[in-house]
Amino acid sequence: MRELPVVGRPPAERADATHNRRRILRAAAELIATRGPEAVSMDEVARAAGVGVGTVYRRFGDRARLVYAVIDDRERDFQAAFIQGPAPLGPGAAPAERVRAFLHALADRTEAQADLLLMAESDPPEARFREGSYLLYHRHLEILLQEIRPDADASYLADALLAPLAANLFLHQRRTRGMPLDRIKAGLDALAGDLTAPRKRPVSETRRQQGERVVDQGGAVGRPV
């Protein structure tokens, strides 16, 4: 099976840039911890970090990327686990088992930082689908699904499996509808089971093939050996 690279590793940078990055991330993390993620704005983070707001924008681009940077360490650990960690989440298990393990682990991942993920995935509205993490998740599932169901549209099915774990739906189910995490995981199991089950032949095709075998066997009677 093809291996995927862990995304999100920061490139090498100058010492002063590293220092500023740490100050900004520390300030953002403290704001989130004390006031909630809704308090995180680029201006507030810049003031708390003691840097110009232009520095924050140059370093992170927008609020979504800043929030993703705050959760970056946990994200890299998660990626390393499903790319090169022990089975069944990592390599070594059957593809269907890995799909199930991945969805459960991603549910735990979303549970741990759902508010941050909601902010990062919705600012701007399509941020979730443009970030490297989502693209990596999608490719990982796509590869596994191609092994399980070569006949299926693996790219579409990968999106379908990831959709229930969007932070907005996840938080709605957990907080508004009061769903326990185990119920969400059970639903993911049911969805993944349907999508990863081998394709069943239509009854008409099965009957046609059975009829062909009967004809072949009947035609063989009386043939000289």
Task: Kindly state which CATH superfamily the domain 11-63 is placed in.
Answer: Homeodomain-like (1.10.10.60)
Sequence ranges of the domains in the chain: 11-63, 71-196
Average pLDDT on 177-183 reads: 98
Q: What is the pLDDT of residue 11?
A: 58
Neighbours of 147 (CB within 10 A): 15
Measured CA to CA, the distance from residue 207 to residue 133 in angstroms comes to 46
Measured CA to CA, the distance from residue 128 to residue 118 in angstroms comes to 9
Q: What is the pTM of this model?
A: 0.71
72-101: pLDDT as tens digits: 878 989 999 999 999 999 999 999 999 999
Measured CA to CA, the distance from residue 179 to residue 223 in angstroms comes to 67
Measured CA to CA, the distance from residue 214 to residue 216 in angstroms comes to 5
Which CATH architecture is the domain 71-196 placed in? Answer: Orthogonal Bundle (1.10)
**pLDDT tier, 224 (very low <50, low <70, confident <90, very high otherwise):** very low
Is there a common fold for 11-63 and 71-196?
no
Out of 8-17, 116-125, 135-144, least confident range: 8-17
Q: What is the pLDDT of residue 126?
A: 80
Structure tokens that stand for 69 in this block: 């940077």
What single string gives the DSSP state of each residue in 136-194?
Answer: HHHHHHHHHHHHH-TTS-HHHHHHHHHGGGSHHHHHIIIIIS---HHHHHHHHHHHHHH
